[in-house]
Homo-oligomer: A and B are copies of this chain.
Amino acid sequence: MTDTASTAPPPAIVLVRPQLGENIGKAARAMLNFGLTDLRLVSPRDGWPNPAAGPAASGADLVLERARVFETVADAVADCAHVYATTVRKRGVTKPVVTPEEAARAMRAEPGRSAWLFGPERSGLETDDVALARTILTVPINPEFGSLNLAQAVILCAYEWSKSQELTQPPQVELDPPAPQAELEGMIAQLEGMLEASGYFFPPDRVPATKRTLRTLLTKPGWSSQEVRTFRGVLSALGGAKKPKP
């Protein structure tokens, strides 16, 4: 790491509903090889701590000791400005798709903490997990044989991030980072509450898809904390509107 290295903190690795303790240990080992230590677990299937994790970590104990457990993905990324959802499968989600290399480059260019979401071993991330992210991260892979396990996906991302640590970059324009996820969630909750009151969510069977559409819409801008506050002020004003325009 050099003096000109990014001021952005190292990314958080978020394992969403991981199944085997062994794989959590392997992911920790993969992380520490490339200097990452911020491990977050969302509802690990077998609880935490898990006795199978330690042996698989091969000495990366400090990563396991510092690991934090969260109930939801939203909780786990509440302090993160940039959320990447890793998936190798195409999904019907219209978000930008980047490689680990491109993600690592973007993380250097933008201030604010990043989180990388990795799904459960068998099934991968659910659509609702992906909806939380602004960007999809896909490892370019053999189209006829895509079979990355969890630790392998983690290590490729960690490896790419570590490379970016040694690059020298031109001076960066100071941009406000996107608001932390928790602020985004508050804004989305406010809007959803208002829309529920207005009868917007109809018919009922379309509600989950409609909410995802709204979430994608509001995640796309990467609004800063100030911008989120402005938008919430707009909503509050509209909520109290006396003479709404048709």
Q: Which residues of A contact B (CB under 8 A)?
A: 29-30, 32-35, 58-60, 90, 93-99, 101, 136, 138-143, 145-149, 151-152, 155-156, 159, 162-163, 166-173, 175-176, 190-191, 193-195, 197-200, 213-214, 217, 220-223, 227, 230-231, 233-246
Contacts and interface: CB of A to CB of B under 8 A. Distances in A.
A191 B230 CA distance: 13
19 contacts: A30-B152, A33-B142, A35-B142, A96-B173, A138-B170, A140-B163, A140-B168, A141-B168, A143-B168, A193-B245, A195-B237, A197-B241, A197-B242, A198-B240, A198-B241, A200-B233, A217-B230, A235-B238, A238-B238
A126 B220 CA distance: 28
Does more than half of chain A's interface fall in helix, strand or loop, or is it mixed?
Answer: loop
A243 B159 CA distance: 52
Q: What is the count of identical protomers in the complex?
A: 2
A241 B239 CA distance: 7
A147 B198 contact: no
A197 B33 contact: no
B245 A230 contact: no
Contacts of A193: 245
A94 B140 contact: no
A194 B238 contact: yes
A154 to B, nearest CB: 10
Contacts of A99: 170
A172 B230 CA distance: 33
A233 B200 CA distance: 9
Contact of A140 (B169, B195, B238, B239): B169
A6 to B, nearest CB: 16
CB-based closest 6 A-B pairs: A239-B244, A221-B221, A200-B237, A198-B241, A138-B170, A140-B168
